[in-house]
Amino acid sequence: MNSPTPPVQHFIRTVIDNDLASGKHGAIQTRFPPEPNGYLHVGHAKSICLNFGLAQDFGGRCNLRFDDTNPEKESTEYAQAIQEDVQWLGFQWAGEVRWASDYFEKLYEYAVELIGKGLAYVDELTPEQMREYRGTLTEKGKNSPYRDRSVAENLDLFARMRAGEFPDGAKTLRLKIDMASPNINLRDPVIYRIRRAHHIRTSDKWLIYPMYDYTHCISDALEGITHSLCTLEFEDHRPLYDWVLDHISVPCHPQQIEFSRLELHYTVTSKRKLLQLVTQGLVSGWDDPRMPTIHGMRRRGYTPEGIREFARRIGISKSENVVDMAVLEGCIREDLEAKAPRVMAVIRPLKVTLTNFEASVTASRSAGFHPNHPEFGERDVPIAKEIWIEQDDFAETPPAGWQRLTVGGEVRLRYSYVIKCDEVVKDAAGNVTELRCSIDHDTLGKNPQGRKVKGVIHWLSAEHAVPAEIRLYDRLFTDPEPDGHKDRDFLDFINPHSLETVQGWVEPVVANAAPETRYQFERLGYFCTDRFDHQPGKAVFNRTVTLKDSWAKEQG
């Protein structure tokens, strides 16, 4: 077994190394805190690999904690999918799954503590008024007229907010920090709002819900998180993270560290835009194999090992992390090259009749599933009078350097004989419908006498081949940055050829493979039996990735 790839050193590892060496922490505790309001995407995969990977590498622990503070957008379906994704990627969280809602009562108590210290107040400004009072990046904000309420009045109003005495949106609880702060996040941020919404875990118990910035830092502290890792858009929120923890009696004060988020070319990772693709029927669902979701990548046939290698390869930094899709595809391709059994399939079949086929003379051969892995075993590759080849492997007028089949030309059938094309059969419209070829029976397992045959093509016996639905997936967008154009909608760049479904043929040995079984179809690419649609008697294969990166060449 190959030794694991050594981790790449980056600035967060350096911080942890120093913290452990200095004795600041005896062990590290990280967390992965998704909101269950959609399926996770490739950017989340980077965060999962970082948080869980660091915990593994340093012998620490990583919690899975759902940020379930926006009840209208959250669902049990999303929460379950997220748990599946983490485990499928090869990680396991410490202990039970945690939820921000586990701490709702404690969060309320901390809010009462802040009110008691004169550091929070109940406000009645409307959202429009609050925006007006907040100021701008260049203009200071101004204090709310409700900012100087007494502690007693604020405690009373906050308790009545919880009890449901006021309508939704009528009041909020705000921190009393500094309306003149150059950091807008510190201009008396809202930490509670009234919202009558059914919650997936607490049902209708709560009528007020805490805001993310308030909830997250306290949840981290209650769980003993040592290093709270998040993407760079939260860098300006760190002073608020620290302010809250500095002003309440929490058991510890985690360190928030930011890193750059992943921007992947030829896709979008905004949950809102991904949801738009789903709701408008532009994809078949969150797990459509063209989606950058972990569920979608899994269904397409990407491997957990390939995704983890991708996360390792792109690294962790504070600089912009824009990565071409070819890097991800390359990691998947490299992983599959070593582990996927190789078989033959024909996706655009052309009938070939072997005119001198003789059942008692023409022999079949066995072939290994992988040239570098004899332990994968072998299978019989049967031959018959009629075979299928790819339409692309025949040309009536071949270009220069052509090494496949043409009239009067020879090729070797993979694992079988050399054949010669003697005649072309066409329909009334002039389309080639059949080739009639002859076998050189003296070429099974050896080269022909007196001549050299360069071309080798894949094929299948028509008698033995199994029909299969083959889904040829490609990139969902034609532009590397579909959501990077101010004057264009990202949907303008949908690739009309991102999915082509064809009826092809596969070797009988793969027809009954379990869902999510991966193969290399020789000369065609890597394919995977569909996770849901592939069933006994109905073979369905998804193209995971081509054998080499041809996208740039095709688009050029």
Tell me which residues are annotated as active site.
35, 261, 271
Residue where the block lists tokens 């792109």? 314
Residues 6+ apart with CB under 8 A from 41: 269, 271, 274, 291, 292, 293, 294
Residue 268: exposure state from Cβ atoms within 10 A (0-12, 13-18, ≥19): buried
Angle at which helix 325-339 crosses helix 304-314, to 10 degrees, equals: 140
Indicate the burial class of 95 (C-beta count within 10 angstroms; 0-12, 13-18, 19 or more).
Answer: exposed
Instruction: Determine the Cα–Cα distance for residues 248 and 117; give it in Å rounded to an integer.
Output: 9
Nearest residue to 495 via CA among 264, 262, 261, 268? 268
* Pairs from 454-457 (Cβ < 8 Å, separation ≥ 24): 454/403, 455/403, 455/404, 455/405, 455/409, 455/410, 455/411, 455/412, 456/411, 456/412, 456/413, 456/414, 457/389, 457/390, 457/393, 457/404, 457/405, 457/411, 457/412, 457/413, 457/414, 457/523
CA distance 252 to 214: 15
**Is the four-CA dihedral 316, 320, 321, 326 of positive or negative sign?**
negative
383 close to 459: Cβ distance less than 8 angstroms = no
SS3 content of the chain, % helix, strand, coil (to 5): 30, 25, 45
Type of residue found at 420: K
Give helix 42-57 / helix 304-314 axis angle, nearest 10°. 80
Residue 418 pairs with which residues in a beta bridge?
412, 440
Query: Vertex 212, ends 206 and 217: CA angle to 5°?
Result: 110
Q: How far apart are CA 444 and CA 546, in angstroms?
A: 30
Residue 383, token pair as written in the block: 């031959």
Contact 100, 65 (CB under 8 A): yes
